[in-house]
A = this chain, B = another copy of it.
């Protein structure tokens, strides 16, 4: 898949990308400066420009998120909510691109568009495999996203105190039934 010969600067490219992910995740799009990213990577700011063109494209490379959603059809249908909740929580614990995208999405239009794309191409198809009427998949996926993003916002971005202190299993236990209902309930009031 990775065609082209390995370049001598691959290590530098990777260092830049790693530093960019960290900074974008910790400070958002505007406050994460190219200079700071370059300093973290131990190189000159001009290298960032040479390899990634500009700040927008660097962010695009840093916020390349793959949700790695599991196959929800394999397993008990009445536990898809909990399994999905557990997956997202585990995914978020140590994946900086997701935090970077969430933090930046609040102020950066391009980041918001990218989240839109991830929802449509990654979450909606999986939701369609477990919900009663596949035509409702976009709506149900949006509802799932609202709860998952809200929890991530409280836990990893805002760091609201009761939420950061809750064990991951407890959060999973609370969110699971919610997602289950968003995914499979025939009617909102169930």
Contact = CB atoms under 8 A, between A and B. Distances in A.
Interface of A: 27-31, 102-103, 105-107, 112, 115-116, 119, 138-139, 141-143, 145-151, 153-155, 157-163, 166, 170, 173-174, 176-178, 181-182, 188-190
A178 B181 contact: yes
A143 B139 CA distance: 21
A141 B30 CA distance: 31
Nearest to A111: B158
16 contacts: A30-B31, A105-B158, A106-B157, A112-B159, A119-B160, A142-B161, A142-B166, A143-B174, A145-B154, A147-B147, A149-B153, A153-B153, A173-B188, A173-B189, A177-B188, A177-B190
Contacts of A157: 105-106, 112
Contacts of A115: 158, 160
Contact of A142 (B28, B146, B160, B176): B160
Contacts of A138: 161-162
Contacts of A142: 154, 160-163, 166
B158 A153 contact: no
B116 A158 contact: yes
Nearest to A103: B106
A145 B149 CA distance: 12
Given A116-B158, A181-B178, A146 B147 contact: yes
Nearest to A148: B150
Given A176-B188, A182-B174, A162 B139 contact: yes
Contacts of A116: 158, 160-161
A167 to B, nearest CB: 11
Given A112-B159, A176-B189, 5 more contacts: A105-B106, A142-B160, A147-B150, A150-B150, A173-B189
